[in-house]
Amino acid sequence: MANSLSTTSSPHPMIIESATDLGIDALQNPGKYAGFMGISVGHKFFSKATMEYFFLWGSQIFKEFIILILDDPDTYNFMIFEDLTKEIALNKARIIGDEKARSYKKVINKLGVKNIKIVQVRDFSQNTHYLNLYTKIKAYTEINSSFKQELFNLMENGIGGKIQEHIKSRNITQKEAADIKEILSEYILEEFVSLVYFTEYGYPIEIDPTREFSTKKLLYEGQFPDLSRALQLTKRGHVYTHPEGVTKASY
């Protein structure tokens, strides 16, 4: 059953739908952990008005709270759905991400909270730890079909309808459709690696307005032991929460 965790400075309480592992301890011991929240730049849920609740709540729960703007991975969506080159698509994704970052910083400054940091993908995508995770996870998709299918399932749940609509409208062949899905799978892979990166390097608690990525949950629960060992995974926490009366469709 969902529970509400109200904050004195927010007009609406946050509803806690579920919490796992270290997430439970984080809720019981505010200020003990650092946490993060991934933001999809194209989803209307992550408006300034909605995020204000997360900013207030997260600043009270965590000693440091990262807002992770997942802009670069949208490159692949723009490549396919808007027929852009990779260079132009990346530039568009970053322009949108930059605007999102500026708007969030204005809200955070207005609220006067000091322990929230806005991070974009290019701030860490060349980091040695991130590249190591990416290389190992990407390689694992090539040798473990079940893991790769899990990532594909995430993509299908998120944008499967949009993919099918695109394929039908273009009268695309089966081979072309498979190629499109391979390109789009890179967007979910980069998002997934980013979540693991922050979880493993200083921010073990993920805040999410939906249930945890199924692939991440399975990985941390030991369903892919070879990969878990290769990545030397530690413990993580996840908190599924949202403002009262404001919900986001799950993946």
* Cα separation of the two ends of the chain: 20
Could you give the CA distance from residue 36 to residue 207 in angstroms, rounded to a whole number? Answer: 6
Collapsing DSSP states into helix, strand and coil, what is residue 21? strand
25 has a pLDDT exceeding 80: yes
Q: Under a CB-based contact definition with an 8 Å cutoff, are residues 14 and 209 in contact?
A: no
User: Residue range 233-243: average pLDDT?
Assistant: 96
Confidence of residue 12 (pLDDT cuts 50, 70, 90): low
Q: Where are the beta strands (DSSP E) in the chain?
A: 3-5, 14-21, 34-40, 64-70, 116-120, 205-208, 237-243
Q: Is the pLDDT of residue 6 over 80?
A: no
**Quick check: 19 and 237 in contact, CB under 8 A?**
yes
Per-residue pLDDT at 10 exceeds 80: no
* Ranges 137-151, 159-173, 181-195, 229-243: which has the least confidence: 159-173
pLDDT digits (tens, 9 = 90+) for 171-224: 888 888 888 989 999 999 999 999 999 999 999 999 999 999 999 999 999 999
Residue given tokens 């109200």 in the structure block: 6
Highest mean pLDDT (candidates 43-47, 58-62, 150-154):
58-62
pLDDT, greater one: 159 or 232: 232
* CA 162 – CA 240 distance, rounded (Å): 26
| Interior/surface letters 153-166, b for 16+ CB within 10 angstroms, e for the rest | ebbbebbeeebeeb
Residue with more model confidence, 165 or 65: 65
Cβ contacts of 6 within 8 Å, gap of 6 or more? 13, 14
In angstroms, the CA 60 to CA 115 distance is 9
Q: What is the mean pLDDT of the chain?
A: 92
Q: Which amino acid is at 245?
A: G
pTM reported for the whole predicted model: 0.91
